[in-house]
Structure 1
Amino acid sequence: MSGKRPFTIIENEWITLADGTRLAARIWMPENAENDPVPAVFEFLPYRKHDGTCLRDDSTYPEFAAAGIAGVRVDIRGSGESDGIIDGEYTPLELANACELIAWIAAQSWSNGSVGMMGISWGGFNCLQVAALRPPALKAVISIASTVDRYNDDIHYKNGTHLSAQLSWAATMLAYQSRSPDPALVGDRWREMWLERLENEPYFMEEWLTHQRRDAFWKHGSISENFSDVEIPAIVIAGWADGYRNTPLKAVEGLGDKAKALIGPWVHKYPHFAWPKPRADFLGEAIRWWNRWLRGEENGIETMPQVRAYIMDDIRPAPRRDFDNGFWIGKQHWSEPEAANFYVDQFGTLNPGNPIPGAHRHDRYIRSPLDTGTASGEFFTLKPDAEMALDQRGDDAGSMVLETAALEEDVDILGRPVLAVEVACDGDWANLCARLVDVHPDGTATRVSFGVLNLAHRDGYEDPKVLPRNEKTRIRVKLDACGYRFRKGHRIRLSISTAYWPMILPAPTDPGVTLDLASLGLALPKLGAHEKITVKEPDNPNPLPKYLEHTPGTTRRWVTKDMTANRTDYHIHEDTGLSERPGTGLSTRQLREEEWSISPDDPLSMSGQSTWTCDMQRDGWFLRTVSNARLTCTAQEWVTTAELVAYEGETEIFRKTFEKRVPRDFM
């Protein structure tokens, strides 16, 4: 197009590390870069550049290259066509490799010596972690759907509770890493490389389960341990519909003026093709960011507000949310929000104001059915359907519900709500979940935010302690960040439960919790001073390229209750369908079947199973891997098993099993 620089795509470039490992890169190279060197943007992932992330890569890196910015997308060792075996998430080896790759990029004859790093999820995590290591050529980052605290804001644990997503993610990675490199790129070595992966790839769950506290394992890679380690500018992006919604505000609080936050209504996707709409012009903004920090262009992007957020307005849960009403606001400088406080009167109503000191004790006991929470959705969401939180009325039936009278004026909030209350428990610990809900005039209940706490972790996540039996203990539950307008005529509801399944796995016993409602305080973060702004939408409303669809994908979620057996089952079916990337002849398909089961009155009945089938095929060539991961428990142990089976054509060529029993550690 006019005014854009021509570029070429290098489908596979081998980069040899100092230890001899060859990593596979895909590079988008602006024309004439040898004579007119360019900056580069680097992304480092285990998700397969050739047949995994290529769809989104082809919506992004061509635009960068046309703007004179090279794109370098590299597969982590043991992934795609790269040599070796992956050794975990964000390991010292992975981060050291990333630093070595940045130095390699900066030393190329086509490079101007300045490198940016970006990514979503895994790539969003490691670009912040690499920034903290300060490789000299790294000048700026863009981190999407990431975390600064790997223990409390990732897919494993949350405030001392055990996320079911940990099993889902372990099963996913076992499946993803079991796939073969493409013979078209690696040649006859493909089978040897594949068998090496199958034999040696770890089952990540075994390691994660041995770290149930916020220990050194989780502190590694958590830049919140020392924000000052990051000295370069960062844009940190997330969506309210995603599990990583806390990170942008935490980043600006920790990094200060070096960081900019952007939070939209989105699921776990890049903002230029995310749902629900409205989207943001990520590509245009990213190019301005890279031009500012990688080639010194004075374009003023550093003067944009420190926080830009979409304030959701009158949102109705539905089987699919294509567009969320709301408005964009900007805060030039972020600071701790002023709180709008609420207390509970003797009638159980939430009222503006603070709890009254010395008020007569008002004890309420709650012991939720253990299947409370089936409207919770996924921890991280990829589609704007039932992966998102649904109408909360069903979950409210198993909860303690406190709410305001109909609001006399709009209430706008931005930040993290906080619940403080005195609790007592006839057990060593229990889980507590608090949900902030918008109740529409017709009774529809939209979840705005939620927070969970394992009460043994009430004073910190490194050294949990049992509760004093039947003694009042003051606790504080910090709910997730949100931006929302509660409209006049709606009600603000606080729903409190001792279960949030299947998102949160139950404690080994189910004693219930007594709350002193006279002590309860709910603090909502006021929106405060702001300016209404416009966030530009993408010029191209459909930036993702079209692939050849051989069979369509399907998705389905459903809950069954067997009243005779007293069991609730939560089912997930996700089939990508069989699709072919044009020009490669390679077709791929992934099928996920997952089921969680529990008896509403027996926490030890909990079980989860996730099965993945991954197919790769080309004329005359077909590979399949099937991974199955399972988690059960006793009162003393977590029990995890997994099996990996590989087929070449119709022939089984590999089978491996894993089994580990891990003591429960206040969880």
Structure 2
Amino acid sequence: MRDGVRLAVTVFSMPSDTARRPAILLFTPYHRAALARKPGDPSAGGPSPDIGSMVRAGFVYVTVDVRGTGASFGVQRSLFSSDELKDGDEIIRWVVAQPWSNGKVGLQGISYNGTAAELILAGGNPAIKAVMAEFTLYDAYAQIIRPGGLLSERFLRTWGGYTRDLNRNTPERSMGARYSERFAGVLPVEGDTVALAQAVAGHDGNVDVYEAAIAAPYKDDEAPVFSAARMSPYSHRRAIRATNVPIYGISGWFDGAYAYGAILRFLNTPNPGSKLVLGPWDHGGAQNISPCAGDRRAGRFDLRAESLRFFDHELNDKPNGFEKQAPVRYYVMCAEQWREARSWPPRSTTLSLYLAPSNGLSGRRPVEKQGGDDFTVALDASSGTASRWVSYVNTGGVAIGYGDRRSQEGKVIAYQSPPLTAGVEVTGHPLVTLHMASDRPAGQLFVYLEDVAPDGSVTYVTEGGLDLAHRRLSRKPAPYRSLTPYRSFARGDARPMTPGLPEEIRLDLWPTAYLFRSGHRIRVSIAGADADNFTPIPAPAPTYRLMRQRHAASRIDLPVVGDFSAAATLQDHK
């Protein structure tokens, strides 16, 4: 590189191919290629399963260990540093200067790799003609570091340990026997194990992600090694829009909070030809998490073939009909159907359901002057160790899911509707408005939308969470187009609760598309902790007062798509 740092690059192409080809680049901290214990192992080609199919289809695929990772030299002093992004531009210029290049480049990546692609695009290199950003963030603070202001304890510790193991070239410590039986770490450059050892030794100075995150609890906290805004594509959206390069965003309903990230990317960088797909998937798309799916295969959607179609269309000008595809495609769980739309969210009608006596959820606004429920928080309440948040770093291959949520009885307070007389499809962004008080200054709020079957079993649909210090909505506009109530998460806007003082708190749940079937009930569960995923407040536990009265009517607003008849029945139900 321009400063003398050597980066590890692997070029995959068809043998003896003399034609000039477009290139697809992947910049990764997760090892650009693995050293196979058995020669010829087909899985040793790199971190993306698309590589082989892309090469056979006539692309050159280039993978790069970003500086300070894998077999590359240098130090990763911060995530997505200016040096790292300059490296990306420099490597692209090197690629298009090669005799096998036709001058066109596509960028692809899942998770960190996808964010790297988007931030490199912001640099404006004219060779970049298409970007596929899969299962990746748009706002780092709000979607992965501290969603709702809540520290992502499990993710930060797990991902920090995983990347530390990769940087030390001991991936088996995080990935276990299944990995070590087949692979022996990162692929050295041209077999040079001495250079590899030297590069790995230099990685000891890399940033400690967990320590950096806990040192910056507010969104406006800035540190040389850690800036949530700088590493977020929303901060670079104007430069990205100026490129006019199409971005294909893909995410899943159980991909942590990244489905909303994909939606925000689509809305805020509407470059010509951009697409959005939201499936029933975990992070990376390996599992179909729809509770009504018969198996965990990828929701009858071939992600590998889709990436090939996209790059074929954009880099080879192939008339494969991709341009005729709907801008938005999304999967409705329990209808088990794909739907199409021109934009997001699809048109809907709001169904408001109010907290009611006897743990009911009613379509009628309360008329009582007084009413409410006291709830003492269970600090060990949890959404489990196979949650959407675990999905972010699932090296053990855990089957993501929530099981029967009756397991949390006694740790949540729940309100449920009468049985539905017909199906109700909820697609979009549910919004909860709670009128509540607490007897302690510190607190957390977790709200779950759930489905109660006729046999009483309870299925998770989606959730929202909030550190109550950030309960107040910002008076300033959001820095990007948003579909939900905006909080700054800034240090100056944080306030402790005033014990005993009722306040209105609005909380959006993560977007979903789900069919509540006939005979089922809609349930809202409320907790004050998710101990397995977010750092809980210290004891003693607070007691919340949830209001359900005429002038303090707590409710959930559900975006109902299609037939509203069953929802209307709930509104008529006393």
What is the TM-score normalised by the length of structure 2? 0.81
Of residues 529, 533, 555, the one that matches 1:521 is 555
CA drift of 1:182 comes to 5.4
Any residues of structure 2 matched to 1:622-637 within 5 Å, and which?
none
Tell me the distance in 2 between the aligned counterparts of 1:186 and 1:78: 17
CA drift of 1:203 comes to 2.2
Of residues 398, 403, 406, the one that matches 2:419 is 406
Stretch moving more, 463-472 or 489-498: 463-472
Which ranges in structure 1 are unaligned for 5 or more consecutive residues? 1-16, 314-324, 530-667
The 8 Å contact of residues 449 and 479 in structure 1, kept in 2 or not, is answered as yes
**Which amino acid in the other structure matches residue 350 of structure 1?**
L
Aligned pair in 2 of structure 1 residues 236, 83: CA closer, same or farther (>3 Å)?
same
Tell me the distance in 1 between the aligned counterparts of 2:266 and 2:342: 11
CA drift of 1:288 comes to 2.0
The 8 Å contact of residues 142 and 148 in structure 2, kept in 1 or not, is answered as yes
CA drift of 1:207 comes to 1.2
Which ranges in structure 2 are unaligned for 5 or more consecutive residues? 36-42, 171-185, 290-295, 473-486, 564-574
Is 2:175 the partner of 1:185? no
Of residues 378, 384, 394, the one that matches 1:369 is 378
The 8 Å contact of residues 236 and 248 in structure 1, kept in 2 or not, is answered as yes
Aligned pair in 2 of structure 1 residues 273, 376: CA closer, same or farther (>3 Å)?
closer
Tell me the distance in 2 between the aligned counterparts of 1:64 and 1:249: 27
Any residues of structure 2 matched to 1:455-466 within 5 Å, and which?
455-459=468-472, 460=487, 461-462=489-490, 463-466=493-496
Tell me the distance in 1 between the aligned counterparts of 2:543 and 2:192: 57
Tell me the distance in 1 between the aligned counterparts of 2:71 and 2:380: 43
Is 2:216 the partner of 1:208? no
Tell me the distance in 2 between the aligned counterparts of 1:329 and 1:525: 16
Q: In the alignment, what sits opposite 1:51?
A: 34
Tell me the distance in 2 between the aligned counterparts of 1:56 and 1:446: 37
Q: In the alignment, what sits opposite 1:278?
A: 299
Tell me the distance in 2 between the aligned counterparts of 1:273 and 1:85: 37
Tell me the distance in 1 between the aligned counterparts of 2:48 and 2:159: 25
CA drift of 1:55 comes to 6.2
Q: In the alignment, what sits opposite 1:173?
A: 163
**Which amino acid in the other structure matches residue 248 of structure 1?**
A
Aligned length: 497
Is 2:329 the partner of 1:311? no
Is 2:74 the partner of 1:84? yes
The 8 Å contact of residues 27 and 72 in structure 1, kept in 2 or not, is answered as yes
CA drift of 1:336 comes to 6.1
Is 2:337 the partner of 1:327? yes
Is 2:443 the partner of 1:443? no
Tell me the distance in 1 between the aligned counterparts of 2:555 and 2:95: 53
Aligned pair in 2 of structure 1 residues 401, 142: CA closer, same or farther (>3 Å)?
same
RMSD (CA atoms): 2.5
Of residues 160, 164, 169, the one that matches 2:149 is 160
**Which amino acid in the other structure matches residue 86 of structure 1?**
Q
Is 2:262 the partner of 1:248? yes
The 8 Å contact of residues 265 and 276 in structure 1, kept in 2 or not, is answered as no
**Which amino acid in the other structure matches residue 558 of structure 2?**
L
Q: In the alignment, what sits opposite 1:20?
A: 4
**CA offsets per residue over residues 302-361 of structure 1, 9 Å max, x none?**
331122111111xxxxxxxxxxx71111113334643222112334321235x45x7423
**CA offsets per residue over residues 459-484 of structure 1, 9 Å max, x none?**
22113122233212111111111111
**Which amino acid in the other structure matches residue 140 of structure 2?**
R
Aligned pair in 2 of structure 1 residues 276, 498: CA closer, same or farther (>3 Å)?
farther
Tell me the secondary structure at the aligned position of residue 47 of structure 1: coil
Tell me the secondary structure at the aligned position of residue 278 of structure 1: coil
**CA offsets per residue over residues 356-389 of structure 1, 9 Å max, x none?**
5x74232222222211115362404247755422
Tell me the distance in 2 between the aligned counterparts of 1:306 and 1:58: 25
Of residues 68, 71, 79, the one that matches 2:58 is 68
**CA offsets per residue over residues 536-587 of structure 1, 9 Å max, x none?**
xxxxxxxxxxxxxxxxxxxxxxxxxxxxxxxxxxxxxxxxxxxxxxxxxxxx
Tell me the distance in 1 between the aligned counterparts of 2:466 and 2:325: 36
Stretch moving more, 360-369 or 379-388: 379-388
Of residues 98, 116, 136, the one that matches 1:108 is 98
What is the TM-score normalised by the length of structure 1? 0.70
Q: In the alignment, what sits opposite 1:650?
A: none
The 8 Å contact of residues 71 and 200 in structure 2, kept in 1 or not, is answered as no
Tell me the secondary structure at the aligned position of residue 196 of structure 1: helix
Aligned pair in 2 of structure 1 residues 522, 68: CA closer, same or farther (>3 Å)?
same
**CA offsets per residue over residues 144-189 of structure 1, 9 Å max, x none?**
11110101111x2111111222122222222221117656722433
Of residues 278, 290, 300, the one that matches 1:263 is 278
Tell me the secondary structure at the aligned position of residue 526 of structure 1: strand
Is 2:497 the partner of 1:507? no
Of residues 342, 347, 353, the one that matches 1:342 is 353
Is 2:220 the partner of 1:219? no
Aligned pair in 2 of structure 1 residues 187, 37: CA closer, same or farther (>3 Å)?
same
Tell me the distance in 2 between the aligned counterparts of 1:176 and 1:344: 49
Tell me the secondary structure at the aligned position of residue 515 of structure 1: strand
CA drift of 1:42 comes to 0.6
**CA offsets per residue over residues 246-285 of structure 1, 9 Å max, x none?**
2222222222364311122222224699944424222322
Of residues 409, 430, 435, the one that matches 1:396 is 409
Is 2:239 the partner of 1:237? no
CA drift of 1:58 comes to 6.6
Aligned pair in 2 of structure 1 residues 373, 187: CA closer, same or farther (>3 Å)?
closer
Any residues of structure 2 matched to 1:615-626 within 5 Å, and which?
none
Q: In the alignment, what sits opposite 2:497?
A: 467
Of residues 113, 116, 127, the one that matches 1:126 is 116
The 8 Å contact of residues 34 and 187 in structure 2, kept in 1 or not, is answered as no
**Which amino acid in the other structure matches residue 232 of structure 2?**
S
Aligned pair in 2 of structure 1 residues 58, 336: CA closer, same or farther (>3 Å)?
closer
The 8 Å contact of residues 12 and 55 in structure 2, kept in 1 or not, is answered as yes
Aligned pair in 2 of structure 1 residues 70, 386: CA closer, same or farther (>3 Å)?
closer
CA drift of 1:117 comes to 0.6
CA drift of 1:109 comes to 2.1
Aligned pair in 2 of structure 1 residues 46, 57: CA closer, same or farther (>3 Å)?
closer
**CA offsets per residue over residues 580-623 of structure 1, 9 Å max, x none?**
xxxxxxxxxxxxxxxxxxxxxxxxxxxxxxxxxxxxxxxxxxxx
**Which amino acid in the other structure matches residue 492 of structure 1?**
I
The 8 Å contact of residues 364 and 515 in structure 1, kept in 2 or not, is answered as yes
Is 2:514 the partner of 1:484? yes
Q: In the alignment, what sits opposite 2:314?
A: 293
Tell me the distance in 2 between the aligned counterparts of 1:281 and 1:293: 19
Is 2:383 the partner of 1:352? no
CA drift of 1:405 comes to 0.6
**CA offsets per residue over residues 7-56 of structure 1, 9 Å max, x none?**
xxxxxxxxxx111112112212246664x321111100011123288466
Higher helix share: 2
Tell me the distance in 2 between the aligned counterparts of 1:233 and 1:182: 32
CA drift of 1:230 comes to 1.9
Aligned pair in 2 of structure 1 residues 179, 299: CA closer, same or farther (>3 Å)?
same
